[in-house]
Amino acid sequence: MADTGDLAAEREAVIREAALAASRRRRNATGDSAYFCRSCGERIPDGRREAVPGTNVCGFCARQLSGTK
C-alpha cells in the first residue's frame, strides 16, 4: 500500500510531466499568428506575434488565461 510520500511523489511527477508537455507544445507552435486577440479583440503587437508563433491572444489575455500576473 502506498504511503503519503509515495502518493505525493506520483502526483508531482504527473504535474511536472503535464507542465513539460505544455511547454513543448508552446515551443513547437507553428503557423501564422492572429492579428487580433480572440479574447479581447485588441491588436496583438508584432513583437508578440513573432515571439510566439501561432498565438491568437495578446500578452495580457494570455496571462489572464494562464492565471499568472
Q: Where are the domains of the chain?
A: 1-30, 32-69
Burial class for 33, CB neighbours closer than 10 Å (0-12, 13-18, 19+)? middle
Bridge partner residues of 67 (DSSP): none
* pLDDT for 34: 93
Q: Rounded mean pLDDT of 40-65?
A: 92
Distances (CA, A) of 23 to 6, 9, 17, 35, 50: 26, 21, 10, 23, 17
pLDDT digits (tens, 9 = 90+) for 6-52: 999 999 999 999 888 877 777 666 678 899 999 999 999 999 998 88
On the CB side of 8, CA atoms within 13 Å amount to 3
Q: What is the pLDDT of residue 1?
A: 63
Higher pLDDT, 8 or 67: 8
pLDDT score of 12: 94
Distance CA 60, CA 38 (A): 12
* pLDDT given for residue 15 in this prediction: 92
